[in-house]
Amino acid sequence: MDKDTAYKEITDNGGEAYARFFAAQNPDDPLTPFCHRYLFEKDLAARTAAHDEERGFAVKSLAQMESSSHIAQAAASASRDAATAAHTSALAARRSAFWTMIAAIASALGVVVNAALNLGWLEWARHLTQ
């Protein structure tokens, strides 16, 4: 009996379940070694498929971790850029506040001088100094 004929007989009769049962019931039959070899190859194929699936999962997981890392780096870069922009804006606001204060002081002096002119205080002060 050759391998192909034996495997066809095993497959036609139920595959792995038939091979297990036949090998257990007929240890001296010429088909029994083919049953053992059939079971071994099926088990090896299943393990290889499981290993490939695990490896595929690991590769996908690694790719997702890498993608998450890139996203985190982009978020950190965006945060750093936002902090720099906020710092620049704060410096501009500080300069603006300073010049607004200078303008307010100048305006207040203008109001005082205008009030003094309107109330005649400058004429009175000039009269005292003469």
**Domain boundaries, given as residue ranges, for the chain:** 3-95
- Mean pLDDT (the chain) is 84
**pLDDT range class, residue 61, cuts 50, 70, 90:** confident
Answer yes or no: are the C-beta atoms of 33 and 26 closer than 8 Å.
no
Answer yes or no: are the C-beta atoms of 18 and 10 closer than 8 Å.
yes
For 75-126, the pLDDT digits (tens) are 999 999 999 999 999 999 999 999 999 999 999 999 998 988 888 877 877 7
Question: Is the pLDDT reported for residue 57 higher than 80?
Answer: no
Q: Which helix (H) or strand (E) holds 123?
A: helix 121-129
Q: What is the pTM of this model?
A: 0.41
Structure tokens at 49: 């498929």
